[in-house]
Chains A and B, each alone.
Chain A
Amino acid sequence: QSALTQPASVSGSPGQSITISCTGTSSDVGGYNYVSWYQQYPDKAPKLLIYEVTNRPSGVSDRFSGSKSGNTASLTISGLQAEDEADYYCSSYTTTNIGVFGTGTKVTV
């Protein structure tokens, strides 16, 4: 149950696009299309952004998009805004039936 690997930090200017990677193994990210992404502000609960790799819940901005290639999933934030400054976590189902989160990425705008 090792955590999925994310970059510790990613930064960008307003209006730019950034991509956060999430690398696992064939036992988690690569083996299932059950990758989800969460946004977390300081001292707040995480909020769902993306599920099943590419799906956005209603109410989530279409500036957020997800993809996957092999054992690596990615979250792209387009048209970066000040309010996007937060921590981001990926998560995946695993063969052990218990899920695993990524190490987390701090986005700075």
Chain B
Amino acid sequence: EVQLVESGGGLVKPGGSLRLSCAASGFTFNSYTMTWVRQAPGKGLEWVSSISSSTNYIYYADSVKGRFTITRDNAKKSLYLQMNSLRAEDTAVYYCARLKYDTRHFDYWGQGTLVTVSS
């Protein structure tokens, strides 16, 4: 069974940093592009960042470029999102999702972890 479990969310002050993790199981992690998607309270989904299976390709939404860094450890079957210079507008539930790159859709999602940026 495919499972994606996020962790690392919490309350952080504006300008602070946080590192999110996503532990994967039930599939060959190093064969898939992985993505972070976020959802602000009461708002829609936003594609944040993607990283290819071998880390050759990394993409960021303009809203987080230069502040967030996506990485992965294939040996540990884990995905990470380092978030720096956090702003109030980064407050959201952050989902880890598996991307089927050949057809560009998300077939599995984690349960999400809440990040709250507030003083």
Contact partners of B110 in chain A: CB under 8 A: 45
Q: Is the CB of A34 within 8 A of B106?
A: no
Q: Per a CB cutoff under 8 Å, which of B45, B95, B105, B106 touches A104?
A: B45
Contact partners of A103 in chain B: CB under 8 A: 44
> In the bound complex, how far is the Cα of B109 from the Cα of A51, in angstroms?
15
> B47 interface residue, CB < 8 Å from A?
yes
Contact partners of B95 in chain A: CB under 8 A: 45-46
Contact partners of A99 in chain B: CB under 8 A: 47, 50, 104
Q: Is the CB of B47 within 8 A of A100?
A: yes
> In the bound complex, how far is the Cα of B49 from the Cα of A100, in angstroms?
11
Contact with A along B92-107 (1 / 0, CB 8 A): 0001000010011111
Contact with B along A73-93 (1 / 0, CB 8 A): 000000000000000010111
Instruction: Given A51-B100, A89-B45, check contact A98 B61 (CB 8 Å).
Output: yes
Contact partners of B61 in chain A: CB under 8 A: 1, 98
How many chain A residues have a CB neighbour from B under 8 Å?
27
> In the bound complex, how far is the Cα of B100 from the Cα of A25, in angstroms?
22
Q: Is the CB of B107 within 8 A of A104?
A: no
Q: Is the CB of A36 within 8 A of B104?
A: yes
> B32 interface residue, CB < 8 Å from A?
no
Chain B contacts to A: CB under 8 angstroms: 37, 44-47, 49-50, 57, 59-62, 95, 100, 103-107, 109-112
The 3 closest A-B pairs by CB, nearest first: A36-B105, A51-B105, A34-B104
Chain A contacts to B: CB under 8 angstroms: 1, 3, 32, 34, 36, 38, 45-48, 51-52, 55, 57, 89, 91-93, 96-104
28 A-B contacts (beta carbon < 8 Å): A1-B47, A36-B105, A38-B106, A45-B95, A45-B109, A45-B111, A45-B112, A46-B45, A46-B95, A46-B106, A48-B105, A52-B103, A55-B103, A57-B107, A89-B44, A91-B45, A91-B106, A96-B59, A97-B57, A97-B59, A98-B49, A98-B59, A99-B104, A100-B47, A101-B44, A102-B44, A103-B44, A104-B44
